Amino acid sequence: MDQEAVLAVDIGGTKISAGLVDAKGRVYRHAEVPTPATGPLLDDALRHLLTSVLDGAIPRAVGLACAGPVDPPRGTVSPVNIPAWRDFPLVSLVGDIVPGVQVGLVGDAIAAALGEHWLGAGQGAVAMLGIVVSTGIGGGLVLNGMAYPGPSGNAGHIGHVVVDPAGPPCVCGATGCVETYASGPSMVRWAREQGWTGSDARALAADAADGQVVAVAAFDRGTRALARGIIDTATLCDVDRVVIGGGVAAAGPVLFEPLRQHLAQSATLSFVRRVTVEPFAMGRHGGLLGAARTAWLASQADTVVCR
């Protein structure tokens, strides 16, 4: 398998996933481990995982998808949900583990969008927004068929688009961000304030599917904010498709039906009204495939993305 595949790595606050991926997107030797809480354990876990997946193979390149913020020019990451890493030299560490090959870094939400555009629900879209709705809300843009990370590597971060300046405070320091309404914890928090007594976002989705009034209202409130963020993004970037994944998106119609209704009611411009919304098709592998796609494109161009 030497030089016939790239090594793709997807790093999040819950798990680290890795696999060898060929040019058609087929994943080999996939493995994942829980994300440790401390720096030294994180480094050791990553080293052990990559060494195990490679098992002596020499990949054509390495693609890293990591929770953000990320800084691709410097090769560093400061994931909000991985406190042990602040300005952490991730590209350098992986370069030490896999010496002599190109290492590319991309934000995890951008990677998920790229993976879906390559092989999933975004195939054929000229301009696409990918959204991950989970404990937070991330996003990534694919414009003219190419991922658009922006100069800082963080473009498309729809979770921190302000949809109500008088809304709830956000961890980013602003108020009324999409994330304060539509993330799993935000919807659970609001539902509990209204008297709901369930445990988590999965339970909230189950109750909403059963027609429980407060749970339905929580998803309605969250998807209204998400629709506003999508409309703002579509107005600025002229996207023609939105694909959505993540743990909360697994609720299916409970999320997508009210979201589509709010989009239909609130979008006024004709080019925004044409936007279609679809669930992720690649599931857990979206970010891994996006990391792989980043590595393949870099290796084919024979340029070093980050070292």
Q: 213-270 pLDDT, tens per residue? A: 999 999 999 999 999 999 999 999 999 999 999 889 999 999 999 999 999 999 999 9
Concatenating the DSSP letter of every residue in the chain gives: -TTSSEEEEEE-SSEEEEEEE-TT--EEEEEEEE--SSHHHHHHHHHHHHHHHHTT---SEEEEEE-SSEETTTTEE--TT-TT-SSB-HHHHHHHHSTTSEEEEEEHHHHHHHHHHHHSTTTT-SEEEEEEESSSEEEEEEETTEEE--TTS-TT-GGG-BS-TTS-B-TTS-BSBTHHHHSHHHHHHHHHHTT----SHHHHHHHHHTT-HHHHHHHHHHHHHHHHHHHHHHHHH--SEEEEESTGGGGTHHHHHHHHHHHHHH--SHHHHT-EEEE-SSGGGHHHHHHHHHHHHHHHHT--SB-
CA distances from 59 to 8, 62, 101, 106, 228 (A): 10, 7, 8, 18, 42
Residue 307 has pLDDT above 50, yes or no: no
pLDDT confidence of residue 125: 93
CA angle 204, 208, 214 (to 5 degrees): 80
Question: Quick count: other Cβ atoms within 10 Å of Cβ 84?
Answer: 15
C-alpha to C-alpha distance for 176 and 167, rounded to whole angstroms: 4
C-alpha 225/C-alpha 287 separation (Å) is 25
> What pLDDT band is residue 301 in, cutting at 50, 70 and 90?
low
Does position 58 have pLDDT exceeding 80, yes or no? yes
The tens digit of pLDDT for each residue in 108-166 reads 889 999 999 999 999 999 999 999 998 889 999 999 988 898 888 888 989 999 999 99
pLDDT at 98: 93
Domains in the chain (CATH in brackets) are 6-110+284-301 (3.30.420.40), 123-280 (3.30.420.40)
User: What pairs with residue 102 in β-bridges?
Assistant: 61
pTM of the model: 0.87
Average pLDDT over residues 277-292: 91
> For residue 90, is pLDDT > 90?
yes
The most confident of the ranges 8-17, 139-148, 228-237, 291-300 is 228-237
**Backbone phi, psi, residue 160, to 5°:** -115, 25
Residues in the chain: 307
pLDDT of the residue at 68: 81
- pLDDT at residue 76 greater than cutoff 90: yes
Read off the amino acid at residue 153.
G
